[in-house]
Structure 1
């Protein structure tokens, strides 16, 4: 019994148990992303780090910003790499490549003794992370069931914030020590997550949609059956496979290369450019909503803008990350109930309100002669916490989920990579300008983020279709029907429920597959009878 079980793929796991292990691997990848992103918020205020890399003093603010933000350029390059090689090697192999590069980057950061050394280390780590963050959400989306797809991706982003929170608490704990261990140990902890990924990803299944797109139909059919815990010859598996194959064939007949895309030339009925812009747009909206002011620099913001001491700033950043984590985990069960559109708009509205109050309170704290400068500065801390709640409830996870849903299968790797590239280049802008903006503009710096969030609300309402409760193939069919550009009045675009026409089409496919199997069975029986005669 034990021997036959061992011969089964994926250690015998099927259905929800197999999806759990895929989710665990993707969640580990996103936890590493969150940890890697958050750990430098403590590093940049560590005195030993500043001394070793000769970064003390306001005259070194620009170099400090460059070393911190250059990581996002590495992430951008990693997303480009995922765009170029991800479709060739598949989801699992691409994640392993990214993890290997991140391992090298973590070792280089831990052993850094100079500015050039750390710059190279940050770029290498970023390349690995860019590859992984462009790939893991796609893998999760393509192996998940329609009613749990959004929940699982947002759960991963919740664990991304677990990584961020963990890095803040590790940084706070290390503030009670002395010497280089204050920053080298937190950076080295990234290797634990790399080891977990190396131990899980290699034995998990490849995306069946990727396999079908590359002609490996037998393997893909087997994985589809394992993911649904159904027999390989079940009509539902045959219908699902045929639906995926139809979408692949349709897109190939109407495919456009990058040259055509840049010229605005796409196949009829694919709406490729619109879908790429929508997916990438969510990432731009996320970053220009101001999140990485907090993710990379919250202790610095609290020291410079609120005038807190370093130890208290670290403690508040760590506490805020716990609130952030709770909001991110709460978003997972809500995303299918409320939908992508509603959660993005609510999240952006909360961010707008918080930045408005932060701007007002910090302006009063710097107003000459104002009697309650300390009190209003400290009152602004509350709204940093509330901002984390608002962001965690929507704009944290949906920009990673949406590009994997809105793009067609042939464009999914490209669309996710392009969205991730957008994330990292806009991330770089925010991370680069924040220390300089706080130093030169003081409270006026936060006006920028009030304006950006105010602009994003109508954009989401006007242009973004709902993707909840639709299969990935439903969305291909939706764009073949030429939906309106301004879609807020179109029921099929904004309804949280799956449009009836998609459900009816799927039922017809299952009936057709069942009938084909019945006819095949009758043909086989008649052939046997004739043979026996």
Structure 2
């Protein structure tokens, strides 16, 4: 996520670098269209990278998909760093986008599938703190190198992302595969061990067995009721799965993130501050570097409200800054900067994190990779929007979009916080009403008590089964025997106390 944030932000500082513009023959207002295209073509690459995750991600697994995406991203980064022509830079942007699209469609799924229900939200916040750190770092790096002349002013900021790429290559191979992917592909014993490790419990613990059986049950249900992509395109889905509805909710959350206007205030903030607010280049870079974004149903509603108000005020202030004869043009243009920053605060509260988490939670096991890929693809295709010379009228678009998100989330989006992924599957099997705002099970922010009681009953039942199952008891006896063998070598040093402690 740090690599994603850095790569997302760094080009906003590169495109206003004098040497970059000269080398690629982009200097002057007549080249603004091609300059915007080179910047935004990255999102087209990300879109097709996310589409590639449809099939590749499910075949390779979560871990190998991230390694492949990072490798492709590295190739794209090298092409950009060494670029001396528009064609090479465009190729580098597209290839880097392909890799990042694969990563951004896979990493949130991997995170969700290896997280306890009460930790998923917290962990996504940690992910996004790292994403924000990468984004902020890119702005500070490009700001610092703006004081340097020549190619180093933009080539080194682009090369800096290899620090995060090397960290990924060094750590990802050692991380556990998703137990849900393993179970879906028949590797149940390996999945059970990973569940036990992640929960810090024994593999024969009733909780671990219950978790494994719930995932196996969900996987089996999906195999029996699965539908092809052709059927989905035709609008068909298996009864009880709500597949199309869940795909639309996940994809809609990602689309809303981009239609909220974040494209303007991340990629193009220096350009916006220079062209719309009329700041000089150095001050625009400094303000872009200073911005920081703090950070499910209520949060999106509150965030959309704050974002809409911020953009409405930006629209009004910039309108007067462009009004001929208005005596305080500079003052109202400068005042608009405040509301770019309040926008960041509200975006960080809701739309920074939830749209990346929601598709991984809302989709079923069989559709999770595809659903996250559809969501990510929606994010990137809606991100492919250039800034047109509409002046203050441009910001009316984002005011209208953000206002429309409030009723959409309130009416259609069920809560996912505090639920296990299997709880969410159960909800869609039992609730087929598209409008959720009157259903307490769908809207309460804590886990519904019915789901808690069901899980506790399954744990008690599996505990009884283990006690009555001779094979399970034999496995437990074997594990105790193995543990005794492991401590034999320590007997002399501990004087028998270690064995007493373990007993």
TMscore range, shorter length: over 0.9
Aligned mate of 1:397, from 344, 348, 353 = 353
Q: Which residue of 2 aligns with 1:375?
A: 331
- Secondary structure, counterpart of 1:284 in structure 2: helix
Aligned mate of 1:485, from 424, 434, 437 = 434
Aligned mate of 1:424, from 375, 380, 395 = 380
8 Å Cα contact 1:354-1:386 kept in structure 2: yes
Query: Which residues of structure 1 form unaligned runs of 5+?
Result: 1-29, 329-339, 529-533
Alignment of 1:230-241 (within 5 A): 230-241=201-212
d(CA) in 2 for partners of 1:263, 1:207: 31
Q: Which residue of 2 aligns with 1:105?
A: 76
Aligned mate of 1:507, from 434, 453, 456 = 456
8 Å Cα contact 1:286-1:399 kept in structure 2: yes
Cα distance, 1:523–1:514 mapped onto 2, change above 3 Å: closer
Cα distance, 1:257–1:522 mapped onto 2, change above 3 Å: closer
Aligned mate of 2:39, from 68, 84, 87 = 68
Shift of 1:422: 0.5
d(CA) in 2 for partners of 1:146, 1:196: 27
Q: Which residue of 2 aligns with 1:309?
A: 280
Q: Which residue of 2 aligns with 1:331?
A: none
Cα distance, 1:312–1:510 mapped onto 2, change above 3 Å: same
Q: Which residue of 2 aligns with 1:337?
A: none
Q: Which residue of 2 aligns with 1:187?
A: 158
- Secondary structure, counterpart of 1:410 in structure 2: coil
Q: Which residue of 1 aligns with 2:343?
A: 387
Q: Which residue of 2 aligns with 1:269?
A: 240
Shift of 1:37: 0.7
Q: For 1:488-533, what per-residue CA distance to the aligned partner results, in whole angstroms no more than 9, with x for missing partners?
A: 01111101121121111111110111111011149969xx9xxxxx
Shift of 1:384: 0.6
Q: Which residue of 2 aligns with 1:220?
A: 191
Shift of 1:483: 3.5
d(CA) in 2 for partners of 1:371, 1:102: 50
d(CA) in 1 for partners of 2:30, 2:270: 20
8 Å Cα contact 1:154-1:398 kept in structure 2: no
Q: For 1:255-275, what per-residue CA distance to the aligned partner results, in whole angstroms no more than 9, with x for missing partners?
A: 111011111111110000000
8 Å Cα contact 1:37-1:296 kept in structure 2: yes
Q: Which residue of 2 aligns with 1:443?
A: 392
Q: Which residue of 2 aligns with 1:132?
A: 103
Q: Which residue of 2 aligns with 1:366?
A: 322
Q: For 1:102-147, what per-residue CA distance to the aligned partner results, in whole angstroms no more than 9, with x for missing partners?
A: 1111111100000000000000100000000000000010001110
Cα distance, 1:287–1:523 mapped onto 2, change above 3 Å: closer
Asked if 1:39 is matched to 2:10, the reply is: yes
Query: Which residues of structure 2 form unaligned runs of 5+?
Result: 478-503
The number of residue pairs the alignment matches comes to: 475
Alignment of 1:17-28 (within 5 A): none
8 Å Cα contact 1:92-1:202 kept in structure 2: yes
Aligned mate of 1:411, from 367, 382, 387 = 367
Shift of 1:456: 1.1
d(CA) in 2 for partners of 1:524, 1:194: 46
8 Å Cα contact 1:38-1:167 kept in structure 2: yes
Aligned mate of 2:414, from 442, 456, 465 = 465
Shift of 1:59: 1.2
Asked if 1:290 is matched to 2:290, the reply is: no
- Secondary structure, counterpart of 2:149 in structure 1: coil
Q: For 1:74-116, what per-residue CA distance to the aligned partner results, in whole angstroms no more than 9, with x for missing partners?
A: 0011101111210001000000000111111111110000000
Which aligned runs of 4 or more in structure 1 are off by greater than 6 angstroms? 522-525
d(CA) in 2 for partners of 1:407, 1:377: 44
Alignment TM-score, normalising by the size of structure 1: 0.88
